[in-house]
Chain A
Amino acid sequence: MNIENTIRIAIQAIFTNKSRSLLTMLGVIIGVGAVILLMAIGNGLQVYITGQFDSLGANTISIVPGEVFSSSGGFGSRESQFSAISNNKLRYTDVKEISKISGIRAAIPMVLGNSDISYQSTTKKRSIIGTMPEYEKVRNTKAEKGSFFSSSDNDGGKRVTVLGSLLAKDLFSNIDPIGKTVRINGQAFKVLGVAEKKGGGFGGPQFDDYAYIPFKTYIDIFNDQKVSQIVVQAEDKEGIQENIVQIKKQLGKRLKSDEFSVFETTEILKVINQVLGVLTLGLGGIAAISLVVGGIGIMNIMLVSVTERTREIGLRKALGATPGIILLQFLIESSLLSVFGGAIGVALAFLLALVINQFFPAVVTMFSIVLAFGVSATIGIVFGVAPARRASQLSPIEALRSE
């Protein structure tokens, strides 16, 4: 009895019982697909958030009103953050003082407000950011079309704006926005540029929906002296901790210590990653459960399909099949079903991840494929072969008698 013959018998057995084979494969497909997909979502979130902070620019320090981090290391409460915004004591003078500190390349203010922004008959309610021309470099937000506003635009309080890429699309659809006039808070603004796409959303800031205008212009039209955030660019990474100390000292002259927070921008990533770690753990738990459930499904269908074939095994033995040949037949059958089902599961997970990616970040990892594929293939093969092995050791008569 040669291998080729046994492979042929196994394939024949798979095709002879199409529905049984499909059902078996379905267990593997769902098990593998669910695990890979769940892990892809957890992983996608992490990749997404990390990417968000990369896009905020390197070596930057953020200064915001109120206490961002609680004393326990996590984020402060919602109430304290809300009161921080309404009691915001950060002013433009602070920006000027901070920019004088040595080792600091630039300190730029950001003011944030909401306003209607319209082009012809299209009106959207969006966030408006008033900031300095340096924002382009510090926050790594290049104008993809046209240009960012200049110092003279700011000094002159010019009515000019740079639109986020989504906002530009919403207002202008396919028309080139450069040089067109939009109305912000009822006033006419000339569109200088469109910022390159940054991606975002999911609770984080959606930069692509913002309209950027010069800081001075913002103060003029909104008559708001509060600075929402100060972004500081350090000269080098090594100096950052010392810079933070100096900034705290400088702000401390005028403000109470709970009225402002100073932190390395990437530091917030660590805290977010902590929160995300819990989420990923939860998703991992669900993935593990579906792996177990999928495994039990595979196990069950394999056990049933092999047990109902005890008579077939008895007959084959009566006609001269050795236990080894029976075992090999079932090993090949289970392997083919498990591997083929696993491959379909992987392909399906990839496709679904592509679809999900339109709404939510999902990144399929090699690790999840290996894990899901490995576990279900192992379960499929073990539970396809173990009962067959038991049956192959019965005498032909005992096997034939089983019902």
Chain B
Amino acid sequence: MLLVLENISKHYTVGDTIIRALDQVSISVDEGEYVAVMGHSGSGKSTLLQIASFLDKPTTGSILLRGKKVENYSENEMAGLRNREIGFVFQQFNLLPKTSAIENVALPLVYANVPAQERTARAEDMLREVGLGDRLKNTRAQLSGGQQQRVAIARALINNPSIVFADEPTGNLDSKSGEEIMDMLDVLHKKGKTIILVTHEADIAHHAKRRIVMRDGHIISDSKDRKKKV
């Protein structure tokens, strides 16, 4: 197993009330899987994705990456995992302002101690691969939403991560740009990349091979379990 979450709970305290965003959730993902997490707004999809991608820590539960427990990793070790093992595509793109596409894409390589020249060369290649070979120097203010998301995908892929996470990657895009982004994820999947994405649109979820549905912090269905039962 590439990634295993066991009995993950995440509680937020707001004032006097405790919000159980995740309640005893368990899930395993194999190398090369293409997973879509679905569910109503507030069901805990984003929370699950953030914990699975080491961007946030669970309140309780354990996480195993290739069989190794990582939930007790130090801040620095977590930073290393984020840098090497995962690529994250946000709904709001999250490019650094006033910074060129190349520099945005190269950012993970900075923290991986890749020499400057190699960083630029690799970022250029990656931008060409996502079809932005003619937008290398543009800043986010000079890019359309779809282009910004493609820069973000290039950034997520630059350090060749084990898993690509995407939280509603098409949520801020029109349907045509959204389709383009989904086509790119499909290509990645064909190349063998593990992909976990969150969406509440059935059309988008259909790109994935495995669909998980959440409600109120629980997983209520997982297409993989159903297949096993059949």
Chain A residues with a Cβ under 8 A of chain B: 1-2, 5, 8-9, 12, 16-17, 311-312, 315-325, 393, 395-398, 400
Hey, which chain B residues are within 8 Å of A398, CB to CB?
56
Partner of B56, one of A16, A320, A396: A396
Known: A318-B88, A319-B155. A397 touches B111 (CB 8 A): no
Expressed in whole angstroms, the Cα–Cα distance for A320 and B57 within the complex equals 15
Number of B interface residues at 8 Å Cβ cutoff, please give it. Answer: 27
Within 8 Å of chain A (Cβ to Cβ): is B107?
yes
Q: A16-B98, A319-B83, A396-B82 are in contact. List 7 more A-B contacts (CB 8 A).
A: A9-B110, A12-B103, A318-B82, A319-B155, A320-B82, A322-B111, A396-B56
Hey, which chain B residues are within 8 Å of A2, CB to CB?
113
Tally the A-B contacts, defined by beta carbons under 8 Å: 64
Hey, which chain A residues are within 8 Å of B82, CB to CB?
317-320, 396
In the complex, per-residue mask of B75-89: 1 if CB is within 8 Å of any chain A CB, else 0: 110011011100010
Q: Are A395 and B57 touching (Cβ within 8 A)?
A: yes
Within 8 Å of chain A (Cβ to Cβ): is B223?
no
Closest to B90 in A: A400
Expressed in whole angstroms, the Cα–Cα distance for A178 and B50 within the complex equals 94
Within 8 Å of chain A (Cβ to Cβ): is B121?
no
Q: Are B75 and A320 touching (Cβ within 8 A)?
A: no
Expressed in whole angstroms, the Cα–Cα distance for A395 and B50 within the complex equals 10
Q: Are B83 and A315 touching (Cβ within 8 A)?
A: no
Expressed in whole angstroms, the minimum distance between the Cβ of B76 and any Cβ of chain A is 5
Q: Are A320 and B113 touching (Cβ within 8 A)?
A: no
Expressed in whole angstroms, the Cα–Cα distance for A395 and B51 within the complex equals 11
A interface, by DSSP: helix, strand, loop or mixed?
helix
A sample of 26 cross-chain residue pairs with beta-carbon separation below 8 angstroms, ordered by A number, consists of A1-B110, A1-B111, A5-B110, A8-B116, A12-B103, A16-B99, A315-B94, A316-B111, A318-B88, A318-B94, A319-B83, A319-B111, A319-B155, A320-B79, A320-B80, A320-B84, A320-B108, A320-B112, A322-B76, A322-B80, A324-B76, A395-B55, A395-B56, A396-B55, A396-B82, A398-B56
Closest to A6 in B: B110
Hey, which chain A residues are within 8 Å of B84, CB to CB?
320
Expressed in whole angstroms, the minimum distance between the Cβ of B92 and any Cβ of chain A is 9
The 5 A-B residue pairs with the shortest CB-CB distance in the complex, in nearest-first order: A320-B83, A320-B111, A322-B79, A397-B56, A319-B108
